[in-house]
Structure 1
Amino acid sequence: MSVPVAPGRLPVLGHTVSMLRRRHLFTALLRNHGDIVRIDLGTMRTYFVTDPRLVHDLLVTKGSSFRKGALFDRFQPVFGNGLATSNGEFHQRQRRMVRPAFHRNRISHYTATMARAAADWTADWRPGQVRVVEEDAQALAVTIVGQALFSTELGERAIDEVRRSLFIVLKQGMVRALSPSFVQKLPLPGNRAFDEAIARMRAIVLEVVRGWREDGVDRGDLLSVLLTARDPDTGAGMSDEQVHDEVMTLLVGGVETTALALAWTFHELARHPEVERRVHAEVDEVLGGRAPTFADLGNLVYLRQVVNEVLRRYPVWFLMRRTLAPVELGDAALPEGAEVIFSPHALHHDPASFSDPHRFDPDRWSPERTALIPKGAYVPFGAGARQCVGNLFAQTEIAIAVATVAARWRLVPVPGKPVRVKFTSAAYPTGMLMTAVPRN
């Protein structure tokens, strides 16, 4: 493919439907055309950043010169004005108010919820039983995040509604985000399902919020933190509407990442017996048969390396930013309002940053090898001022859940039933059938 050079020395690529269908290959190959490649997506001109150090500049060094991009504008009906979509001073204010919910002391408290939910998940397993692991992982992730958010009886109803509606929102929300704006107005089944799911979740979340306002009791859950938070400058709290938006952000952001990571972790452990053996040996030595705690994570060193490697192998496809003013990024002068794209998936599979990048290798996260990874090459939760506020919660949840299961069970793939993968915002496994085998 010939690539003409645009003014400012940026290579320019058009796009075709066939290219976007092969999007992971397409984004991975962009690095061959330069550190920043201009791509015209229909009438929208975008700049795709392929160099990890420039991604670090985009997210961290010059992060204040950017806001969320066009992709996040499309998610406004889902997140409202939550942390994922808000910008500027309002975003900074909200982040200050939400951050205490994810302090290490709070996460240590939630660890018991994580371990208990994982133990309950496996309580009714039977030797030889075939599990649909991606469905189990989704249910477990919803339970953990839901119980951390809502601790009341009404909260249990909210969790049930999240189980019913959230994955409709995730699936159809990404379809909407990647489709022309007129598509969401068509009377399509997917549009109706999305609108109904959003309406149901909105109603139950606001009902829980109003119920909390009436009781006014701090129950130690995430919702209590949001409702008691105060702006340190003004002393003002959040409105019910804003609490709803932040709850939706935490649900959508917290469930998808951890559900996918859990499913792929058990898949990779089954594919790599030596990795699985090392995880089991470490879990046995550290836990000795008891439930894991937050303090144990410091000793579950190899397990955390496995989690890092899963997050490297199975991240989101791409993210976007928009320039607030003219910005110099590397050798490129980007105009105000420019849409900038980077792909965590492409960055995480760049052979210049990760040797043999398609090989599952937890040892690449040993301290001596981690030190060699360039800044911006590993961004499963973003970076800088807009890094996912719940990143430590998610990493803790994955490790605690895997440790709890691995202490008692192995999951073995069903012969002749290969896992199918559907790429939307990330790699979704379908038909991940695995047999539950007791370790003892």
Structure 2
Amino acid sequence: MSNAADLDPADGARAYELDREHVFHSWSVQSALKPLVIAGGKGTTVWDYDGTEYLDFSSQLVNVNIGHGHPALVEAIQRQAGQLATVAPAHANLARGEAAKRILEKAGPSFRRVFFTNGGADAIENAIRMARLSTGRDKVLSTYRSYHGNTGAAIVSTGDWRRIPNEYARGHVHFFGPFLYRSEFWAETPEQESERALQHLERVIQAEGPASIAAILLETVPGTAGILVPPPGYLAGVRAIADRYGIKLILDEVMAGFGRTGEWFAFHAFDVVPDLITFAKGSNSGYVPVGGVVMSEEISDAFEDRMFPGGLTYSGHPLGAASIVASIDAMEREGIVANAKRIGEDVLGPGLAGLAEKHEVIGEVRGLGVFWALDLVADRATREPVGAGEIATLKSELTARGLLPFTADNRLHVVPPCVVTDDEAARGLQLIDEALSVLGG
């Protein structure tokens, strides 16, 4: 797919040299880094300066939903840059208004306005601010198995290890969400897990003082934590508990939204409507940094006659807005969300289940759409996770075979772009099969 004649390996060497000399990487020990240099991409494929191609089963950070180099997005960004490259958020702009309109149409009739941000983390920050201001309360409840971003309140809302060295924001309380495979509640069925997790949440609320709690913040389908599809009744149960105590429900769809689960928004597959939705990179496949908060009518109305004390220089940036418009229109026109749903049901789901039958190292397969995880274990009986060494080996084997993987903890996440074809999905499964055979052998 790459045109090797246009690639100069010297540019790749130069890119690597500049990176290691001058670029500081996130979540990394700098001296240990050996980053792969990417020169270009198209659809589900990226390539380096030597012309080596990789099937992108990471979607970079699980966000290139529409694929690399989609011509409609590229053209929309170029056209907008030529017309109006930037504008202050205080002014009205056609691209921004069209983007907000399309997002609201996809979210559903319960929602009124969109507040645009630079990305997912500051979408979380502003959703929390809206919940606190509209309720007059302070505390935010979120789960231990979660990731919400790396800014002040977002990282403290996060449940994993990245929160611990960054706990500077106030008013955050964590609880355990449902995860039957590694249940905190001694559950044996999805229904038990849901019921007991809801009981646990309500007891935390009661112990913390319901009148002190502004919001419950959840990833609709926790992503980096392991593609934890909520069991039957859980999200509806959280909604009922929130309503009982006057608490706002924020659903984080930064990773799960815009086709990733085979729905425009992941919550559409569950019996729940939140008060606030956060979105970001999936809305335009990360072509331009963008994010936002979708606000219910009630939350929006809370600021009709009072100032909202928040703003960003790049809120509703025209390049980001134009790319959202182009992305939503292309996804609708080309049936991309439906494709993600079908691929999950017909190809990835059955294929990964087949790999689990073949490879003892797979403890559980979880997911939907193009949003899947393999929970890899050293022992199926004890469910002991494999170690970092095995994951490093797996990652190396996959990359050597031409597949760009996404790994986290003891898991391989299978998260190709929503435009992945049957043949590409089958090829990815074959490469995973080969790499797991090395790991098992």
Normalising by structure 2, what TM-score?
Answer: 0.23
Q: Where is the strand percentage greater, Structure 1 or Structure 2?
A: 2
Q: Where is the helix percentage greater, Structure 1 or Structure 2?
A: 1
Normalising by structure 1, what TM-score?
Answer: 0.23
Does 1 or 2 have the higher relative contact order (CA < 8 Å, sep 6+)? Answer: 1
